[in-house]
Structure 1
Amino acid sequence: MNENNINISVNGEQKTVEKNKNLSEILTFLNIEKRMISIAVNSDFVPREQYKELIINEKDAIDILTPIAGG
């Protein structure tokens, strides 16, 4: 592993990303549309206004939740 990278989990799948990146940058890197999703990092919900403030660290677990239609 490159010393400038970290390993994280995204919906249970291992990913390697650059370190010192915020959640918004990670989502962009992973080509994830930010409009219609909710995010939890290490099981804690992250409000959308904090995406640019939250730095993702080695072994963090990101869970991306999308709305489900129906009822």
Structure 2
Amino acid sequence: MNITINGELLNVDRKALVEVLQSFGAVAPFAVAVNSEFIPQSQHGNYVLNEGDSVELLSPIQGG
């Protein structure tokens, strides 16, 4: 299945969002949006990706 993560086209063999994030190397804390829709962390385990989905993985930026 082809999806895009942070602008990078990837072919993945998993559909569960949490599994795709783990295989991508996501390290908490982070926020996730699929097709520009925020997905709460409580739903990561149940969320199923579809062909062509666009995933944005956002890490907090510290500053002052």
* TM-score of the superposed pair, with normalisation by structure 2: 0.92
CA RMSD of aligned residues (A): 1.0
Aligned length: 64
| Alignment equivalent of 1:55, drawn from 27, 31, 48 | 48
Percent identity between the two aligned chains: 39
1:45 to partner: Cα distance: 0.2
TM-score by length of 1: 0.83
Q: Structure 2: where are the runs of 5+ without partners? A: none
Secondary structure class of the residue paired with 1:62: strand
Structure 1: runs of 5+ lacking an equivalent: 1-5
Separation of aligned partners in 1, 2:57 and 2:24: 12
Higher Cα Rg, which structure: 1
